[in-house]
């Protein structure tokens, strides 16, 4: 956290902008399919400056993934704040609805999918687990639900990812109806 009255360096000011650009680019192309030069172009800076801010591509991807989880946590916190009552089920439901609204923004969904596919890279796997930890512990603390309810909350979110990412809810088949039954996402 920055001290009040502290002056941020140019690098400190640019890191969030570069991480946001990286989120968009990595979400579109994945870890292996996105170059640092592509991120630099999106951030309107040189690749050399990106490497000054993030010395390795893994660090840049991790910054993008952390930005993704920051956006998710902000949304589910707002959902929890808007819950109709403070019962664990009501809070989890409100957080789930807020998360479902995020699925319109395919960047966040795709970023998580790409992180899962690159989780064998130690830094990325660690960052993915850290993000999941943040979401899980926030849901637990904020809702005061039991562990089984938190597990269902996270599992339901992963099922929503699968349905949206693969378009299962648009397939007119019995197996697809089973998976998507009762699950609706905002348009």
pLDDT band, very low/low/confident/very high, at 29 (cuts 50, 70, 90): very high
34 within a domain of the structure (yes/no): no
φ, ψ (nearest 5 deg) of residue 8: -85, 145
In a domain, 45, yes or no: no
CA distance 158 to 100: 11
Residue 97 located in a structural domain: yes
* Residue 19: count of CB within 10 angstroms of its CB: 23
Buried b (16+ CB within 10 A) or exposed e, 142-168: bbebeeeebeebeeebeebbebbeeeb
More confident residue, 4 or 92: 92
- Overall domain count for the chain: 1
Note whether residue 23 is domain-resident: no
Give residue 118's domain range: 62-180
Binning pLDDT at 50, 70 and 90, where does residue 56 land? very high
pLDDT at residue 3 is higher than 80: no
Residue 17 lies in a domain: no
Q: Are 18 and 39 in contact (CB under 8 A)?
A: yes
Q: What is the pLDDT of residues 14-28, one digit of tens each?
A: 999 999 999 999 999
In a domain, 70, yes or no: yes
């Amino acid at each position: 956290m920055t001290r009040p009255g502290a002056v941020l360096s140019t690098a400190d000011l640019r890191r969030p902008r570069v991480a946001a650009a990286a989120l968009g680019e990595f979400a579109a192309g994945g870890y292996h399919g996105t170059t640092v030069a592509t991120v630099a172009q999106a951030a309107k800076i040189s690749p050399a400056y990106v490497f000054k801010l993030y010395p390795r591509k893994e660090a840049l991807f991790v910054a993008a993934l952390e930005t993704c989880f920051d956006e998710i946590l902000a949304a589910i916190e707002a959902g929890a704040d808007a819950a109709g009552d403070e019962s664990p089920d009501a809070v989890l439901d409100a957080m789930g609805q807020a998360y479902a609204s995020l699925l319109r923004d395919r960047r966040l969904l795709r970023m998580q999918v790409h992180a899962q596919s690159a989780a064998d890279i130690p830094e990325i796997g660690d960052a993915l687990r850290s993000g999941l930890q943040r979401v899980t512990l926030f849901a637990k603390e904020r809702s005061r639900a039991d562990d089984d309810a938190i597990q269902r909350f996270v599992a339901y979110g992963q099922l929503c990812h699968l349905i949206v990412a693969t378009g299962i809810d648009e397939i007119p088949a019995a197996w697809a109806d089973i998976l998507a039954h009762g699950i609706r996402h905002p348009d």
